């Protein structure tokens, strides 16, 4: 049985490891919400199965599933993938699940952020969200990991860390009035430093263009390859609104040093498309006011929204014209890794991609 702690990870000498570090497991949540996923979530379920199977070849996978979808998921997933029944509101475990911290003695704990569905009653995607807000501590309990309840509204996709004291985020998201309007930038930084035991926050101005569902999550714009190296979503098309966003992010990244005093190596990863919702893709949703998926709406497609897990990169296939180049670029950035592409268009229609639907559990000694 896990317990809620009253200290902070910094006080207890725990740190958030980088995604490149060894993992014990990766967790996902089975999609079924029909205002997020079209056609009864069946296309999304196929995509989630493919992602889970690709991960499970190198890392144990747990799939969280509702009671009404349990049998369906169990039949569609390989027997070595664990299926656990749990109540959730939606299937973006990167955001509703725990961030994990470890110490140098072989211990692991979870950080349970406050979750308000990407904006609460001001800008949130749905209501209620209490089931998702309870997911992190339930995961911790199943793993027998003690946890910290952080006094901060935050989604896991809004941060990246290098495991050596540096955190990356966007002002667009963490300073959005729908998250922690009563806190200043310095107060938010202080909470990040306490609850992830990091020393430096690198603030990028904006997230990926058209990423309105999350208010600009950093995991759509960049990824941390390893300490001192980042992967940046990039376009050379000066007519694309993404161009100025990427240029500004590059300027910030190239002019700052990380927590260890290193200048960052910046790898440019071309964005797909631009990608837009087709007539067929706009159909089959249960419509609600908070989510608008009209024909021609630009999608926040990004190859940077990949998962690193135990020497494997799992990235979304999004654009037939650019998928091969994205894979080649990722292979050059990660020469000792297997780079595996999984169709991600049906995940993108829901508002995110492979990194957004996964949450890694770091290994302990």
**Residues acting as catalytic residues:** 356
At 94, give phi and psi (nearest 5°). -55, -35
Burial class (CB in 10 A: 0-12, 13-18, 19+), 142: middle
Which of 27, 130, 25, 117 shows the shortest CA–CA distance to 88? 130
Q: Which tokens belong to 256?
A: 């700052």
| CA dist 175 → 178, 181, 191, 277 (Å) | 8, 7, 13, 29
Q: Tell me the C-alpha distance between 337 and 347, whole Å.
A: 24
For the chain, where are the alpha helices, taking DSSP H only? 42-56, 70-76, 93-96, 120-123, 130-133, 135-142, 171-174, 185-196, 241-255, 323-333, 345-348, 354-357
Q: Tell me the C-alpha distance between 100 and 240, whole Å.
A: 36
At 336, give phi and psi (nearest 5°). -95, 5
Q: Tell me the C-alpha distance between 54 and 259, whole Å.
A: 33
Q: Tell me the C-alpha distance between 102 and 137, whole Å.
A: 16
Q: Tell me the C-alpha distance between 263 and 227, whole Å.
A: 11
Which of 95, 319, 90, 35 shows the shortest CA–CA distance to 215? 95
- Catalogue the E-assigned strands of 80-165: 82-85, 99-102, 108-114, 147-153, 160-161
């Amino acid at each position: 049985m896990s317990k809620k702690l009253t200290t902070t990870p910094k006080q207890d000498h725990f740190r958030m490891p980088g995604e490149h570090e060894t993992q014990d497991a990766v967790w996902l949540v089975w999609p079924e919400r029909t205002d997020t996923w079209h056609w009864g979530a069946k296309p999304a379920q196929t995509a989630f199965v493919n992602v889970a199977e690709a991960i499970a070849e190198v890392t144990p996978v747990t799939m969280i599933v509702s009671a009404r979808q349990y049998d369906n998921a169990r039949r569609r997933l390989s027997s070595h993938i664990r299926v656990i029944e749990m109540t959730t509101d939606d299937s973006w475990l990167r955001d509703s699940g725990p961030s994990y911290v470890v110490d140098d003695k072989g211990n692991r704990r979870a950080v349970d952020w406050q979750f308000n569905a990407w904006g609460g009653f001001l800008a949130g995607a749905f209501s209620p969200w209490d089931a998702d807000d309870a997911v992190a501590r339930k995961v911790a309990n199943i793993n027998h990991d003690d946890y910290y309840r952080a006094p901060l509204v935050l989604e896991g996709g809004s941060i990246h860390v290098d495991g050596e004291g540096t955190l990356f985020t966007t002002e667009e998201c963490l300073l959005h009035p729908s998250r922690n309007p009563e806190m200043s930038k310095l107060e938010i930084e202080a909470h990040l430093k306490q609850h992830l035991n990091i020393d430096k926050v690198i603030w990028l101005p904006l997230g990926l263009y058209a990423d309105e569902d999350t208010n600009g999550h950093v995991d759509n714009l960049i990824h941390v390859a390893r300490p001192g190296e980042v992967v940046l979503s990039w376009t050379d098309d000066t007519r694309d609104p993404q161009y100025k966003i990427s240029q500004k992010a590059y300027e910030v990244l190239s002019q700052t040093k990380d927590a260890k005093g290193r200048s960052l190596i910046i790898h440019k990863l071309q964005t797909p498309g631009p990608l837009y919702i087709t007539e067929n893709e706009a159909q089959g949703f249960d419509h609600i006011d908070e989510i608008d998926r009209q024909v021609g709406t630009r999608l926040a497609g990004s190859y940077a929204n990949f998962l690193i897990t135990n020497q494997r990169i799992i990235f979304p296939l999004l654009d037939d014209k650019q998928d091969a180049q994205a894979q080649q670029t990722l292979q050059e950035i990660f020469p000792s890794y297997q780079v595996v592409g999984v169709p991600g268009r049906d995940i993108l229609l829901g508002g995110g991609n492979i990194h957004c639907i996964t949450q890694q559990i770091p290994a302990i000694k």
